[in-house]
Amino acid sequence: MKEKLTLMIPGPTPVPQTVLQALGRHPIGHRSGEFQEIVLRTTEQLKWLHQTNSDVLTITGSGTAAMEAGIINTLSRGDRVLCGDNGKFGERWVKVAKAYGLDVKVIKANWGDPLDPEEFRKALQEDQNNNIRAVILTHSETSTGVINDLETISRYVQTNGTAITIADCVTSLGATNVPMDQWGLDVVASGSQKGYMMPPGLSFVAMSERAWEAQKRSDLPKFYLDLKSYQKTVQKNSNPFTPAVNLYFALEAALNKMQEEGLDAIFSRHDRHKKAAQAGMKAIGLPLYAAEGFGSPAITSVAPDIIDAEELRKVVKEKFDILLAGGQDHLKGKVFRIGHLGFVSDRDVLTAVAAIESTLQLLGINKNKTGEGLSAATAALQ
């Protein structure tokens, strides 16, 4: 049904009406006092969200731009880095690092499995001369729905050598606890169309003092993504280049809503939805793709063995107006992903489980299981 489509993909995520209304305001001058107040307020709110006293900088661009900025502002040509790779985004950071001539050592895990923190510990301990300048990894791997143990890996980085931790928190920030200062994260990158409950177009880079120390040595060329210019201007509540003014309106409205709800409530909501989606799928008889215990609070990946994932997605969309995400690359047709990230309520998750269950019934598959997914999800939501 036209205009009824609900997004349950890992981004863009659903956007509250108040945020859309803010977005649709007439733009104002980006050098005006009124806009400076918005920059001031949102910067403070972003620090709250990141649980940090460090700078949080706003870039007009995608999450990839933010992550690239984190890498190219803290490193120099030839620097050795450890890069975690257990999915499409891990792969991407390896590509970015190589594009800038970094010396990349990849720590891999199979898609669906988490990165093993022990491998990071070993590699760091073996690095007697402290040649490793950074450890780059993805917290919530959007392509597989796996959450990596960023806390432990960051602790190993801090206790072994002098590297900084550069973390892609694009689908974890605003969905689960990412206490930047407490965990000792040096660069945290995120994007607006995720936990922020707003449309895509803005991304965010938080930089610790250690990251700024590394920045002073960095020699990789950059201009639009030169974070020094963002740091200088944010101190004057401004931006180095014309920002997406209307997306800033939306950002403020969205962060207001997040502060009203509170971090603990946001995190427990996402945790509840993760459990409900997982329980629902298991009860229907659809295997989860992520290794047990490592499901992301933002995305539940499902690897159905009784139906083509794309066929299921198609019917769920056409019959029930719910957009699920497909599998990426070699997972296409093998995996579908339920996004439960951002502006998602218990009803949305229940509905997704119910629609998937009903679709299997309509297609004549899994006849005996109808209702079990709903029941299990309901129990998990309590």
- Judged by CB under 8 A, which of 39, 245, 255, 335 binds a second copy? 245
Structure-token pair, residue 324: 């699920």
Does position 60 bind a second copy by CB under 8 A? yes
- Determine the interface stretch with a second copy among 92-100, 119-127, 288-296, 368-376 (rule: CB under 8 A): 92-100
Is the preceding peptide bond at 12 cis, omega within 30 degrees of 0? Answer: yes
Does position 341 bind a second copy by CB under 8 A? no
Would you say 35 or 120 has its CB closer to a second copy? Answer: 35
Would you say 14 or 285 has its CB closer to a second copy? Answer: 14
H/E stretch holding 166 reads: strand 164-168
Determine contact, residues 106/86, Cβ cutoff 8 Å. Answer: no
Determine contact, residues 198/250, Cβ cutoff 8 Å. Answer: yes
Does position 168 bind a second copy by CB under 8 A? no
Distance CA 206, CA 364 (A): 50
Would you say 48 or 224 has its CB closer to a second copy? Answer: 224
Residues 27-46 that bind a second copy (CB under 8 A): 27-30, 32
Would you say 112 or 240 has its CB closer to a second copy? Answer: 240
Would you say 193 or 208 has its CB closer to a second copy? Answer: 193
- Judged by CB under 8 A, which of 224, 261, 318, 362 binds a second copy? 224
Would you say 29 or 333 has its CB closer to a second copy? Answer: 29
Would you say 28 or 381 has its CB closer to a second copy? Answer: 28
Would you say 40 or 323 has its CB closer to a second copy? Answer: 323
For the chain, percent helix, then strand, then coil, each to nearest 5?
45, 15, 40
Query: CB of 282: closest distance to a second copy in angstroms?
Result: 26
- Who contacts 95 (Cβ-Cβ below 8 Å, separation ≥6)? none
Please give the C-alpha separations between residue 216 and each of 56, 58, 122, 210, in angstroms, as whole numbers. Answer: 18, 20, 28, 10
Does position 191 bind a second copy by CB under 8 A? yes
Query: CB of 255: closest distance to a second copy in angstroms?
Result: 17
Instruction: Decide: helix, strand or coil at residue 156.
Output: helix
- Who contacts 215 (Cβ-Cβ below 8 Å, separation ≥6)? 73, 74, 207, 227, 228
Which alpha helices (H) appear in the chain, and where do they start and end? 17-23, 33-50, 63-72, 88-99, 117-126, 150-159, 180-183, 209-217, 227-234, 245-261, 263-284, 309-320, 346-362, 372-381
- Judged by CB under 8 A, which of 5, 306, 363, 379 binds a second copy? 5
Instruction: Decide: helix, strand or coil at residue 85.
Output: strand
Query: CB of 321: closest distance to a second copy in angstroms?
Result: 12
Distance CA 228, CA 253 (A): 27
Does position 101 bind a second copy by CB under 8 A? yes
- Determine the interface stretch with a second copy among 4-12, 81-89, 128-136, 366-374 (rule: CB under 8 A): 4-12
Residues 264-303 that bind a second copy (CB under 8 A): none
Does position 220 bind a second copy by CB under 8 A? yes
- Determine the interface stretch with a second copy among 82-90, 150-158, 220-228, 287-295 (rule: CB under 8 A): 220-228
Largest interatomic CA distance in the chain: 63
Binding site for a second copy (CB under 8 A): 5, 7, 9, 11-12, 14-15, 20-21, 23-30, 32, 60-65, 68, 72, 95-96, 99-101, 191, 193, 199-201, 220-226, 241-247, 323, 325
